[in-house]
């Protein structure tokens, strides 16, 4: 993969990890506020639970996409690692092709789900329910792109430079 595309992929991955981390911090702050307001102020905010849930959906999907690029997703490599170079490469490329197809399916059906629910409103937040499904589509595109990067690297007998080991 060209150095420009690899650098762009690394920046996107870094952004997704920061986005996920900030989302986790915001969700934690919202839940902490909800607990404080409920037990100390006796006035639990109605919006807190749905806002925390919406943030969690966003950061989990973005972290999952980064996991494809960084290789920290769940996989069982004992079979592939026991093979010689050519069969191992075929298994690894095949596995990443399945991940890519899954990402494309996520992008398509996530977009469809967001579109179908766009008119529904989350009552406590006053925003479209479709916002809860947009990250499925976006992360699906990211997953497919990161899987393509992994396939190209495997075919070139190189590795994707991981940002965090």
Using CB atoms within 10 Å of the CB of residue 114, give its burial: 0 to 12 exposed, 13 to 18 middle, 19+ buried. Answer: buried
For residues 106 and 113, what is the distance between their CA atoms, to the nearest angstrom?
10
Alpha-carbon Rg for the chain, nearest whole angstrom, is: 19
Please tell me the predicted confidence (pLDDT) of residue 88: 82
Domain boundaries, the chain: 3-155
Angle between helices 134-155 and 48-70 (to 10 degrees): 10
For residues 14 and 44, what is the distance between their CA atoms, to the nearest angstrom?
35
pTM (two decimals): 0.85
Please tell me the predicted confidence (pLDDT) of residue 30: 95
**Local confidence pLDDT in tens for the 165 residues of the chain:** 567 778 888 888 889 999 999 999 999 999 999 999 999 999 889 999 999 999 999 999 999 999 888 877 666 677 777 777 788 888 888 889 999 999 999 999 999 999 999 999 999 999 999 999 999 999 999 999 999 998 988 888 888 777 765
Please tell me the predicted confidence (pLDDT) of residue 2: 65
For residues 154 and 97, what is the distance between their CA atoms, to the nearest angstrom?
11
Please tell me the predicted confidence (pLDDT) of residue 128: 94
Please tell me the predicted confidence (pLDDT) of residue 162: 77
Please tell me the predicted confidence (pLDDT) of residue 105: 97
Residue of 83, 102, 88 lying closest to 144 (CA atoms): 102
Please tell me the predicted confidence (pLDDT) of residue 131: 94
Please tell me the predicted confidence (pLDDT) of residue 31: 95
């Amino acid at each position: 993969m060209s150095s420009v595309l690899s650098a762009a992929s690394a920046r996107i991955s870094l952004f997704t990890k920061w986005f996920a981390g900030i989302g986790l911090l915001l969700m934690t702050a919202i839940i902490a506020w909800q607990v404080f307001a409920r037990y100390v102020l006796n006035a639990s905010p109605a919006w807190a639970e749905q806002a925390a849930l919406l943030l969690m959906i966003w950061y989990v999907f973005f972290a999952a996409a980064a996991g494809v690029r960084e290789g920290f997703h769940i996989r069982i490599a004992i079979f592939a690692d026991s093979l010689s170079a050519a069969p191992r490469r075929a298994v690894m490329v095949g596995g990443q092709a399945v991940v890519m197809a899954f990402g494309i399916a996520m992008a398509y059906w996530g977009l469809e789900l967001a579109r179908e629910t766009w008119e529904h409103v989350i009552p406590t937040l006053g925003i479209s329910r479709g916002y809860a499904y947009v990250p499925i589509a976006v992360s699906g595109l990211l997953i497919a792109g990161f899987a393509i990067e992994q396939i190209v690297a495997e075919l070139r007998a190189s590795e994707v430079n991981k940002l965090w080991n």
